[in-house]
Amino acid sequence: ADDISLQNSCQLDLEGALIARDRVGIQDFVLLDSHNSETAFLDNLKKRFTEDLIYTYVGILLISVNPCKELDIYTKKQMDLYMGVNFFELPPHIYALADNVYHTMLSEASNHFILISGESGAGKTEASKKILQYYAVSCPSSTLLDTVRDCMLMFNPGPAPIGSGPNDNSSRFGKYMDIQFDCQGDAVGGHILSYLLEKSRVVHQNHGERNFHIFYQLVEGGEEDQLRHLGLEKDTQHYSYLVQGECSNVSSINDKNDWKTVKNALSVIDFDASDTEHLFGIIASVLHLGNVHFDGDTKGYAILNSNAALRWLLGIHVQVLHEALTFRKIEAKSEEVLSPFTVDLAICARDALAKAIYGRAFTWLVNRINESLENKVREQQKNFEQFCINYCNEKLQQLFIQFTLKSEQEEYEAEGIGVKKHRGIISVLNEECMRPGDATDLTFLEKLEEKMGNHPHFLTHKLADKKTRKSLERGDFRLLHYAGEVTYCIVGFIDKNNDLLYKNIKDVMRLSKNPIIQECFPATEGDSRRRPETVATQFKNSLLRLTEILTAKEAWYVRCLKSNDNKQSGKFDEVLVRHQVKYLGLMEHLRVRRAGFAYRRRYEVFLQRYKALCPATWPHWRGVPAEGVEKLVQHLGYKPDEYKMDRTKIFIRYARTLFATEDAFEICKHELGKQQRIQKRHLIFFSFYYKHLDRRAWAVKIIKQFIKGYITRREAKTTDNSEYLAFVRQSYLNRLKDNLPKTVLDKTTWLTPPPVMTETSEILRQLNTRMMVRKYVQGITPQKKAQLQQKVVTSAIFKGNKDSYPSSIAVSFVDTRINEQDINMRILQTIRHERIKYSVPVVKYDRNGFKSRPRQLVLTQAAVYLVEEAKIKQRVDYVSLKGASVSNLGDSVMILHVALNDPKQKGDLVLQCDHLFEALTKLAMIANKQNNIKVVQGSIKFEIQAGKEGGVDFSTAQEPMIFKGKNGHLMVVSDYFSISA
């Protein structure tokens, strides 16, 4: 077991590598004898790093040390080695982790995630790429998998430059990538969740930092004709948003080459020439917006002496945009009047617009990528964005601690350890942003000192002692994070958290001729009277969604360590690595793992390796494996406190016990080698002898065995009938392969097996059925698949609940019952940004008097519309739609329930629809209201208006009818054989 084979071929298993531990270190820190020593921990990391062994386990957690150079350990041959292999059979590798996550997911039918963490430059992006590349090769190949792979792998060179900066490999936004597999292990889709895009970087960069890479790539790499069309010049120094950090050019970045990569990435996600043109038009518009400069008039109000830059902005009339950037619409005496901006406010409005355009376009791009994947830094003072990033890291670190402790608790059934939760800073910031009066960064700092002054992890200049006060400016506060102390400069916290975009600027954006901007600034965007969420709240909520996703899955971890700050290959900075080991909690994780047992293996594996050390288990143990292991460890002299026997595994508490066993095994192997060479010479002799025996005697013996086997064929397997039974099995399998059923519905042609093959035959029958089912499913067209998906939703809601449901099963759903040319043009223009998903004719019954009126029911991606020719009679957005109710009988009446939060909102809708099942299924899927559609017996109440109710009573008779009853309710009578599609 030499170093070369260990490094290059990866053929040694974990136990086999124990003999090389003095030269190449321990492959699993759980086996480190001095597991409480941080020095021993670092020495082991360094020993392995020196040998280019960058991966080490702590149980099933993987540590990866960035070698700052290319290693030949990611070839197709190495991928093949790790496919389907037990986690600890081969040396630590990211392929081992990826493979075990995949197979555990399939075997346990559960969801899993891999959390890759570490500081900038530690190799997180490369680790994610290696995992995705492994899945692209190891998972069952399909066209869809290729699309998922390309989109996922191209996400970094594609949108990442649009969300990357300031360095050559720094993602200024968080991302969670999800690959979806079916029960067969085939990739069927993917999804990307982004959180915390650092939008403020668009308008301001600190010294030594870049704006987002895409700006430089467009200016440096764009073709001359393209730049001329966008009004750009091939010089980044001409644009205010690109020169603030004095870092336009970076030696390690080739913007021209990266520009080509970006365009290739966009083609992967099905961007056509028009999409690309509109997207780059947005990027160019942000650059032009940064060059809009304001002067002040005699009263200090902002004026534009030159609006040349405005004419390139998103196809919006120059004068309209000019007015939006220098005036704000406010309400005065029930009228809207224009209030002029000061120069400072105009600059804030300009920068807010730039950030909003860029941020919303980024969100649009991520959503576009998801559609293609669907199933079909300075070290001193930190700013607001760094505070949000550290907040995210803090939450993920707590999640890591929670998961690792929980897994050990389940393993040993030990006492759990809780994680303390502290709240405060974001809440105080939001309160200060929203309170009346003039809130400033300093008033925010004062509130923090008032609310958080007694917290041991919070410090300011005012609260510090004389010695510490020297290292804190008056506008700073300091937090003790899990990774160490961080000092934040308070300047900009209030403005960046507000990130306000005035209503009239949003209105102007909707006039843009750029279709992407039209989607990013929809006409239906929330109530302008409500204050928008702060940036910190938006980020906190998106992080909450992320943690909700992660806590619903099983956790696996890759902890990436940066070997040095200079990206120098072969350099191991012990101080830097020690700091990372400390704040990533690796020593604590090791102590938790070692609180129980250092080594654990299944009885069969342990016995197979070490059975030669005990006469009772060598060469073969015929009994129960656990009993064999018990005899083996007793023979080796294990003490009671050194091991524990569980249901399926042996647990060894101390690494030294395992090392002593391994050393004894090495000595034993040499003795066994001598014996094997002697036995080999004997075998050669006997082989030669038997080869020349009388062939006739041999044939007689075989015939006798066959006859004896036939006579005893119904008895238990013995040496007399084993060969005959093998013949029976082979004969049955040969006949079976030529007589397999041709369809899933064929239940009669399966060959009756002989008794010895009964169990095997049933397994083969099930496998054959599954194979035919899979073949049938793969042959389903997208149209048929969509139809089945809708019918599944219909069944979940109505099966066994509504009388007319069985008769509707055979009736196919259609995409819509009203073509767009049959919808009035004024209606189409009004709702053109919402995308019509489905339309159907209905009869609407007045809430008072129940007079029937023909209407059109139109479902868009945002709301339900009730239309009468050219008029929208009622609009209900899906947030305000509480649900729908129908009776359990055969009628086609449905009631849509509306939340009356707005006094202008009308009451519930009472409708009759000949395609009830189809319409409600479409509504359930578009609005995500499957759980809000109720089937009711007897009567259904509905709201006429706030505080006033009406009712609909249901019954059956020979003739169907709908009329107003004497009790003032709408009476709905259905016959016994009603049907609705």
Q: Which residues are annotated as a binding site for ATP?
A: 118-125
Cα distance between residue 351 and residue 501, in whole Å: 9
418 contact partners, CB below 8 Å, separation of at least 6: none
CB 30 within 8 A of CB 593: yes
- Burial level of 133, CB count in 10 A (0-12/13-18/19+)? middle
Cα dihedral sign, 324-327-329-334: negative
Look at residues 162, 604, 205 and name the one whose alpha carbon lies nearest to residue 377.
205
Tokens of 245: 């950090």
Cα distance between residue 684 and residue 116, in whole Å: 55
In 613-653, alpha helices (H): 625-636
Residues in the chain: 981
Question: Which residue in the block uniquely carries the two structure tokens 């050390």?
Answer: 613
Instruction: Report, in angstroms and rounded to the nearest whole number, the Rg of the chain calculated over CA atoms.
Output: 36
β pairing state of 863-868 and 187-195: unpaired
Cα distance between residue 29 and residue 41, in whole Å: 8
Cα distance between residue 377 and residue 660, in whole Å: 49
Question: Which residue in the block uniquely carries the two structure tokens 């065995």?
Answer: 705
Strand partners, 331: 336
* Phi/psi at 267 (5° precision): -70, -30
- Burial level of 178, CB count in 10 A (0-12/13-18/19+)? middle
Amino acid type, 81: L
Sheet holding 893-898, edge to edge: 871-877, 863-868, 852-860, 836-845, 909-912, 893-898, 881-887, 933-936
Cα distance between residue 286 and residue 280, in whole Å: 10
Give the burial string for 611-620 (b: 16+ CB within 10 Å, else e): bbbbeebeee
Cα dihedral sign, 568-572-573-576: positive
Q: Which residues are annotated as a binding site?
A: 118-125
- 3-state SS string over 715-757? CCCCCCCHHHHHHHHHHHHHHHHCCCCCCCCCCCCCCCCCHHH
Question: Which residue in the block uniquely carries the two structure tokens 């800073």?
Answer: 425
Give the burial string for 483-492 (b: 16+ CB within 10 Å, else e): beebbbbbbe
CB 866 within 8 A of CB 844: yes
Tell me how far CA of residue 582 lies from CA of 43, 359, 481, 502, in angstroms. Answer: 15, 35, 12, 46
228 contact partners, CB below 8 Å, separation of at least 6: none
Strand partners, 555: 113
Cα distance between residue 857 and residue 91, in whole Å: 63
Give the burial string for 151-174 (b: 16+ CB within 10 Å, else e): bbbbbbbbbbbbbbbbbbbbbbbb
Using DSSP's 3-state secondary structure scheme, residue 842 falls into strand
- Find how far residue 767's CA is from the centre of its chain: 32
* Phi/psi at 30 (5° precision): -60, -25
Cα distance between residue 172 and residue 166, in whole Å: 8
Give the burial string for 529-540 (b: 16+ CB within 10 Å, else e): eeeeebbbbbbb
Cα distance between residue 41 and residue 35, in whole Å: 7
